[in-house]
Structure 1
């Protein structure tokens, strides 16, 4: 008959092999095929080093209790097998506060190279998830860390678990100027840093011998960015231009790794710079003319310079002088 389910009639070992060859989030969707498929995808975990729970289909139609039970069961089925990648995106996150920390700790304990925690969906206004200070205390294999709507207030400077990072992305994270400076300076292997909507940042120093990419997006309280990164190649800045303020350090400046003053030879040989003010505040011609021009002056030597209309306006005005 045309309605015959020949796929489900295959032996279990064949079905396990099929499910094990697709990404986890696609494997989870097989729950809808039949009752026989309901638990088949769990068996794929034993052979998979990537646990990705970021697909919205994974949480759709499940209560917080069911989601917690499912993830717990996944980790149990996975046993003591190594985990290379662990990603989770949940909302509303207040229902998963303790569980998220426990899952991340379990992944780190099993040698995870990449950990991603995204709690930004449908934010309920109760504040960020406070990560305990001991989460990154032990030395680990962690190289890629992506956090969204978390807090690093309790993570001590020089945490051994962050020392091997090559990629760090912080989105809507409660993090201060000092914490960013301390974390980045201790990550000797860091190559990429992204700071998005981190509204506690005001005056930031970023220093890294291997840093190649820097992204600052919608950190609207920031007015000073000091960069000591001789290998820096790419800069993306989306937000209000760094306004000059009297009697305060302001704007963008490149400095040497060991010095605190601006030196002409401290500017890295930038390959790509993207600078945009559009959508991040009201434009004041008198104030922004100075601030934007000062910012552009620091990055004008980039091989590829992408500007919003404000930047082109000031370039045209500068040419007419």
Structure 2
């Protein structure tokens, strides 16, 4: 039987004709598990792509999608799936053939007995010169048994960590020989517990910090002389700060001389607020569950920022009583979010007066 060139072309899969460089680019965009499956199902002359496209990736992300593939379904035996997850990630890190890891992102449920495996992975990433580290843990043990970062085994003279994101960990004050935070410019913490002195000395330890996010963290404790005070004294390099739903007992103080943007959503037990940030130009402030007295204090504090241009306020339907409103000299943009379904007639009148006052003080473009 003679097959014409046209018929032969129709019987051949078009993707097999792609150059290796294009196939490498396509495979690099797939989750790890799907990339492995694609290699296994590929023609023989593509088998060498497994090394260049999979085992040398510089941006590593380990979660259910990347480890189990896009067809992954949550099973009933979570412990078995967790063990299989750890086994696959460990096997990959052992077979890794690249010289450099730029980012290492990990998200998984862990028990305390698996921390030693996580130690091995972080050691692997740091020896490869990782610059961006994200640990999104869900601890299945007691909070007091949380994963501690950094550990002495993570210390290395070549550590070049610039971005660190932690979830459900314990952030410990490093020892004198630890350089884990020396190059850090961005720090994001979610539901993180601080040891006795780490929060008070955060900007001494992270001297180059430019961006800080604190979400559901406890900002005060026994390391503060006043148990009802929560001072956050930032370094000169900090320009972006987010403090969202953090546990603040009593009085909160924010001092950041070069801060440019602030997002602040205080917890319900915050009673007073003081801020010293003369360079602020953008502010987001939410007041969904906190005391009524905090809003007038915040508005007064924000008016003390001469360069403030953008103010975003998120308020509940029951607005607090404000006797006098401060002046914002350079304000150019005002965003006001209010739960309209909870407004009563008295609150509507107050809202209209606030809007009229704000609009009369907006700086014209």
TM-score range, shorter chain: 0.7 to 0.9
In structure 2, the residue matched to 1:270 is 280
Change (3 A) 1:34 1:81: closer
Show the 5 A alignment for 1:225-304: 225-240=252-267, 243-244=270-271, 251-254=273-276, 267-278=277-288, 281=289, 288-300=291-303, 301=305, 302-304=308-310
In the TM superposition, residue 205 of structure 1 has moved relative to its aligned partner by 2.2
CA distance in 1 between partners of 2:10 and 2:264 (Å): 56
| Offset at residue 215 of structure 1 (A) | 0.5
Structure 2 counterparts to residues 56-205 of structure 1, below 5 A = 56-59=65-68, 60=72, 63-79=81-97, 81-94=99-112, 96-120=114-138, 123-127=139-143, 128-131=146-149, 133-139=151-157, 140-153=159-172, 155-156=174-175, 159-176=178-195, 178-199=197-218, 201=220, 203-205=230-232
Deviation, 1:23, is 4.3
Q: Deviation of residue 109 (structure 1)?
A: 1.8
Partners in 2 of 1:63 and 1:55 — Cα distance?
A: 10
Distance in structure 2 (CA, Å) of the matches to 1:72 and 1:204 = 41
Q: Structure 1: give runs of 5+ residues left out of the alignment.
A: 245-249, 255-266
Once superposed, what is the RMSD of the aligned Cα atoms? 3.6
Distance 1:35 1:44, change over 3 A: closer
Q: Deviations over 1:254-293 (max 9, x none)?
A: 2xxxxxxxxxxxx322111111122xx4x5xxxx333222
Kept after mapping to 1: 8 A contact 2:182/2:207 = yes
What is the aligned residue count?
Answer: 293
Residues 34 and 42 of structure 1, relative CA distance in 2, 3 Å threshold: closer
Inter-partner Cα distance in structure 2 for 1:234 and 1:205: 15
| Structure-2 residue corresponding to 1:263 | none
Kindly tell me: are residues 157 and 109 of structure 1, through their superposed partners in 2, closer, same or farther at Cα, counting changes over 3 Å? same
Whole-angstrom distance in 2 between the partners of 1:297 and 1:177:
33
- Larger RCO: 1 or 2 (CA < 8 Å, sep 6+): 1
Deviation per CA, 1:140-173, whole angstroms, max 9, x where unpaired? 1110000111112364378412111000011111
Give the number of the structure whose alpha-carbon radius of gyration is greater.
2
| TM-score in terms of structure 2 length | 0.67
> Is 1:36 aligned to 2:32, yes or no?
no
Alignment partners' CA distance in 2, 1:226 and 1:291: 13
TM-score (norm 1): 0.76
